[in-house]
């Protein structure tokens, strides 16, 4: 233990007490009178003032009754909030500008007492509209799930606005609400758009299949006479029966298509919308070719992804694009650079895509 640790202990205890004291000034719920509640409070204040000035017992009785309504309203609304838990469910992927469906599961953990008139809401970050769900009653031990769409307009890391639970139970005089909860950070992927035009065509040479070669694929290359050392499982029995000699099926080698997407930084003063449009184009190209079984690599000015053709690899590419920050003036790879058999598609952000070159298939 350092010598300074001893003198710091009283300050640490004092800081802990100060934090606990601050919690008293920031309760977990916010209470606000409704319009009817303000009228009710004004009526109670007027009755109390009149009872004090006149000494009339009936006015005192009415004043006490109004105060009792306010007290009962606070107790019952607090009882409605107690024991409630909310759990958020996130979608598998959120793409910029497209509605993504989130879920909130509200559960009542109380054993005997139900909760009444519950409102669950969250603001849509794109439109500013309030997504709202209402429950008349949530019984003890019960739960309910609410699925609702939110639209996040831009790729990158975003903070969800957070949800709140509120009620005006029982008399509608006060709104008692929780403070905003779970302002969750979420990664928004680039938008994937339908592709058309020349960008969809195969960038390998003239767009034709590589020349067929013998190999261990699944497509038939040719039929020939069986020779010693050939695999007997590849004998073509129909041709063997027709010719009277052993005929072998020779298969074609499966050619793996490999596509490299090279992203270049935009020119100075390129509009942001044009940059985001081309980042969406890169994401759409990657999704298109991964779905067709091609191996795809993404090369950015500040890094690159490995090769891959699995949906998990597509997610890796989309996450890299979501976090990419374009910077005008950075150097990019020279055109046509790449291994043999790899098609290079270069995208200069703000200028679109071009096939910069394709290596010769080996």
What averages of pLDDT result for each successive group of 10 residues across the chain (362 residues)? 51 61 66 93 93 91 93 92 91 92 93 94 83 93 92 89 91 90 85 75 47 53 80 83 85 68 86 90 91 88 88 94 83 53 81 55 40
Q: Does domain 26-188 bear CATH number 2.60.40.10?
A: yes
Query: 139 with 80: CB under 8 angstroms?
Result: no
Q: Where are the domains of the chain?
A: 26-188, 197-208+256-358, 220-251
- CA–CA separation, 189 and 93 (whole Å): 7
- According to the model, what pLDDT value does residue 125 have? 80
DSSP state of 241: H
Q: Six-digit token pair at 48?
A: 């109390």
Q: Which run of H or E residues covers position 12?
A: helix 5-25
The C-alpha angle with vertex 273 and arms to 326 and 187, in degrees rounded to 5, equals: 60
- According to the model, what pLDDT value does residue 353 have? 61
| Closest of 253, 345, 356, 347 to residue 296, by C-alpha | 345
- According to the model, what pLDDT value does residue 233 have? 80
DSSP 45-89: HHHHHHHHHH--HHHHHHHHHHHHHHHHHHHHHHHHHTTEEEEEE
- According to the model, what pLDDT value does residue 265 have? 86
Rounded to two decimals, the pTM is 0.69
DSSP strand E in the chain: where?
Answer: 29-33, 84-89, 99-108, 115-123, 130-138, 143-151, 156-159, 163-167, 174-178, 185-188, 220-225, 247-251, 258-264, 295-300, 303-304, 342-348, 352-358
- CA–CA separation, 40 and 190 (whole Å): 52
- CA–CA separation, 361 and 192 (whole Å): 29
- CA–CA separation, 110 and 362 (whole Å): 69
Q: Which run of H or E residues covers position 282?
A: helix 272-291
- CA–CA separation, 41 and 46 (whole Å): 9
């Amino acid at each position: 233990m350092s010598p300074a640790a001893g003198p710091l202990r009283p300050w640490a205890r004092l800081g802990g007490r100060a934090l606990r004291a601050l919690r008293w000034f920031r309760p977990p719920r916010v209470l606000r009178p409704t319009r009817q509640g303000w009228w009710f409070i004004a009526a109670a204040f007027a009755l109390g003032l009149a009872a004090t000035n006149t000494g009339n017992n009936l006015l005192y009785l009415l004043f006490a009754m109004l105060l009792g309504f306010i007290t009962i309203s606070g107790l019952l609304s607090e009882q409605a909030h107690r024991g409630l838990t909310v759990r958020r469910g996130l979608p598998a992927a959120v793409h910029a500008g497209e509605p993504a469906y989130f879920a909130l599961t509200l559960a009542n953990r109380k054993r005997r007492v139900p909760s009444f008139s519950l409102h669950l809401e969250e603001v849509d970050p794109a439109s500013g509209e309030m997504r709202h769900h209402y429950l008349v009653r949530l019984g003890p031990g019960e739960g309910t799930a609410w699925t609702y769409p939110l639209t996040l307009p831009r790729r990158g890391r975003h903070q969800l606005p957070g949800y709140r639970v509120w009620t005006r139970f029982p008399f509608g005089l006060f709104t008692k609400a929780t403070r905003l909860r779970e302002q969750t950070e979420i990664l928004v992927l680039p938008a994937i758009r339908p592709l058309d035009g020349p960008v969809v065509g195969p960038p390998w040479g003239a767009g034709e299949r590589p020349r067929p070669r013998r190999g261990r694929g699944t497509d038939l290359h040719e039929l020939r006479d069986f020779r010693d050392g050939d695999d007997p499982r590849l004998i073509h029995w129909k041709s063997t029966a027709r010719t009277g000699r052993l005929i072998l099926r020779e298969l074609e080698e499966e050619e793996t298509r490999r596509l490299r997407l090279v992203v270049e930084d935009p020119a100075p003063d390129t509009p942001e919308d044009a940059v985001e449009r081309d980042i969406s184009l890169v994401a759409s190209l990657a999704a298109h070719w991964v779905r067709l079984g091609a191996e795809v690599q993404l090369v950015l000015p500040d890094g690159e992804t490995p090769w891959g053709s699995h949906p998990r690899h597509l997610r890796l590419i989309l996450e890299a694009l979501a976090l990419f920050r374009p910077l005008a003036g950075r150097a990019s790879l020279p055109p046509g650079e790449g291994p043999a058999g790899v098609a290079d598609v270069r995208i200069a952000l703000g200028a679109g895509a071009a096939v910069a070159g394709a290596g010769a298939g080996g």
